A and B are shown apart, each in its own frame.
Chain A
Amino acid sequence: MHSRFCQFKKILFSTVIIFISCYLSVYALADDRGPKLFKKCKSCHQIGPDAKNSVGPHLNALNGRIMGSIVGYKYSKAVENMGRLGNSWNRESLNKYLENPRGFIKGTSMKFAGITKESDRSELIDYVFFVSTANARIPSYQDPELDQKILSIEGDYAYGEYLSSECITCHQASGQDNGIPSITNWPVEPFVTALHAYKNNHRENEIMQMISKRLSDEEIASLAIFFNSLNN
């Protein structure tokens, strides 16, 4: 398991943005061809914590998304119409679309011939859904009050480990989420942004506001690198 994990990590490192490497452990158990298959998509579609719309819309939280529903992305009329009719992206619709894009949505602007082999489509969907679901929980907004210098503060791992014991009473070190979100494996930047957003009252939750107000910028940076290191 360990060597397979490491090998997978290397492949992923070179194919998708670095941040995603944190999310691979569960996926790695299932399969490790996803990142290779995703090469075909990544020149137009981003996925992961910092994913933005580019040539195509970003793919975070794709499973269950109404077609043509990302605000700010200019879809073809054909895809928008599919959404208006109530169609959403799920395993079945994505499988049909990837098999023959222009056959499934006539008039789509996606210039992609399709993937003939059913097992390739299936593995690609596994991968995309895994990574996109893992990233759905990480806040992607910006905190307008956040001084960009704060993001470049280097944290101290040992100090972060000590401070983390206060967080772990609720946010489980195992990454399990039974009612309180998992904060393990987050990339440093969204972690720091989220805590400062609580500190500045841009995010609601009385406990998190209270806890974050007690943390210095350095302490937040230290927590961020510690929780980033928890691989589970």
Chain B
Amino acid sequence: MTINRRHFISASAGITAAMSAPMVFGASRPQVVIIGGGAGGATAARYIAKDSKGAIDVTLVEPTRSYYTCFFSNLYLGGFKDFDSIGHTYGKLANDYGINVVHDWAVDVDSNGRTVALAGGGSLSYDKLILSPGIDFVDGSVPGWDLSSQNKMPHSYKAGSQTQLLNAQIENMKSGGTYCMVAPPNPYRCPPGPYERVSMVAHKLKKMNSTAKILVLDPKPKFSKQGLFEEGWNKHYAGMIEYIGPDMGGKGVEVRPDSMEVIIDGTPEKVDVCNVIPAMKAGKIAELAGVTDGNWAPTIAHTMQSRKNSDIHVLGDAAAQGDMPKSGFSANSQAKVCAMAVRAALTDSKLFPAKFSNTCWSLVDTNNGIKVGATYEATDEKIAKISGFVSKTGEDAALRKATYEESLGWYSGITSDMFG
């Protein structure tokens, strides 16, 4: 696609006189509130603050003071990363970029009055609201499991204490025990994530509990990078992983947290660690803000604006993203499009055509990295895929090592891009 700068939309057209002079600092500055400090929200906050050079007042609402990235949390489970290395704080966003970082839960949105209510009792006014809350779980999607079971059967699909809990359970599993994963149905956060996790758990168990078994119960007939993962599992973890797809009972699995049982096709089976990754939906605040349609929030691809409310943008996992997978990389990419659109709406900056890209790296075993990626453009209908690639089976060890090293570089890059 050739892009000619002459065709760029000038943002100043169509903006009222009152909105066109927001360069005056102080109380008159337009206010942007961002809910969620992950790959979408932190990036959007940083880009709006950085590129508007103080012309926009940016508030980031994130409950945790230390944010643990979901990406690379599997590498912590595999013993390739220590827990601290996936933790990040918001000091630079506050100090270097002048962002108001509020550590609180956003509990409601009044979209008519344009205010956000906080659990601590406060309220924030906005001209533009950006929701990047990530995911919540669909109640009842795995019969027998709800959030009250998450300590017995952790999901570990929001990084932090859940990740540490699963790690401890795996490390303390009895000799020859079984780690079971109940994999999620589509669409969900990080398509290769569950299968990278299986690889990392296998890597850990092979070293510390070599007679242990891994049982994967999957409701999907196929999964991301399947051929590559299966190649790796056969090569590195032969005989260790039992994969049960929907035809063999992987669909409709029920769990009994109290007795540590999974019911496969009506037959109970005792397991030692049970990692239940339920079906997912947009983080609850998106629903409360009235921007969801079903489980996700539909968006206009050109700007990441909600299709239901033009003052609200939705980023990352919570958004219905067209062809893009739900990943930290995607959220970061969408955040930049959103930041540009928000600046253009509130100041006189230019609106360029949206460009999106994503790459998901996964680690199969030591120095055995694989990747899948694609580029996307905005159409009136959705975020549409242009072209993509995926690693190939049978690649040599040097290339796989280079792919892994590239993923380390990406982690360092994207976390700098998010947190400054």
Contact = CB atoms under 8 A, between A and B. Distances in A.
Interface of A: 156, 158-159, 162-163, 165-166, 168-174, 176-181, 206-207, 209-211, 213-214, 216, 218-219
B222 interface: no
B332 A169 contact: yes
Contact of A169 (B333, B352, B389): B333
Contacts of A168: 413, 417
Q: Is the interface on chain B under 10, 10 to 19, 20 to 34, or 35 or more residues?
A: 35 or more
Interface stretch (B169-177, B259-267, B285-293, B368-376): B368-376
A214 B414 contact: no
A123 to B, nearest CB: 33
Contacts of B405: 179
A178 B412 contact: yes
A165 B47 contact: yes
Nearest to B336: A165
B387 A170 contact: no
Contacts of B350: 158, 162
B1 interface: yes
Contacts of A214: 1, 355, 375, 386-387
Closest 6 interchain pairs by CB? A179-B409, A180-B409, A178-B412, A179-B408, A206-B389, A165-B336
A213 B407 contact: no
B408 A211 contact: no
Given A171-B413, A172-B412, A207-B373, A166 B406 contact: no
B357 A180 contact: no
A178 B412 CA distance: 7
Contacts of B410: 169-170, 179-180
10 contacts: A162-B350, A162-B352, A165-B47, A169-B357, A169-B417, A170-B410, A170-B413, A179-B406, A180-B409, A180-B412
B5 to A, nearest CB: 6
Given A177-B409, A179-B407, A210 B389 contact: yes
A173 B407 CA distance: 17
A159 to B, nearest CB: 6
B332 A207 contact: no
A165 B355 CA distance: 10
B149 interface: no
Contacts of B374: 210
B329 interface: yes
Nearest to B351: A162
Given A179-B409, A210-B373, A159 B5 contact: yes
Interface of B: 1-3, 5, 47, 329, 332-333, 336, 340, 350, 352, 355, 357, 359, 371, 373-375, 386-389, 391, 405-414, 416-417
A177 B416 CA distance: 12
B5 A156 contact: yes
A169 to B, nearest CB: 5
A172 B414 CA distance: 8
A177 B409 CA distance: 7
A210 B375 contact: yes
Contacts of B340: 162
B333 A166 contact: yes
Contacts of A172: 412-413, 416-417
Nearest to B374: A210
B2 A216 contact: yes
Contacts of B388: 210
Given A171-B413, A178-B408, A211 B375 contact: yes
Contacts of B386: 214
A213 B388 CA distance: 11
A110 B332 CA distance: 54
Given A166-B336, A210-B375, A174 B406 contact: no
A124 to B, nearest CB: 33
A89 B414 CA distance: 37
Contact of A166 (B355, B389, B407): B355
Contact of A213 (B333, B355, B387, B416): B387
A158 B343 CA distance: 15
B3 A169 contact: no
B351 to A, nearest CB: 10
Nearest to A213: B387
Nearest to A176: B412
Contacts of B406: 170, 179-180, 207
Contacts of B408: 178-179
B312 to A, nearest CB: 22
Given A156-B5, A207-B371, A210-B388, A169 B329 contact: yes
A210 B412 CA distance: 21
A10 to B, nearest CB: 29
A206 B375 contact: no
Given A169-B333, A179-B408, A180-B410, 10 more contacts: A166-B336, A179-B406, A179-B409, A180-B406, A206-B389, A207-B359, A209-B389, A210-B388, A211-B357, A214-B387
Contacts of A163: 355
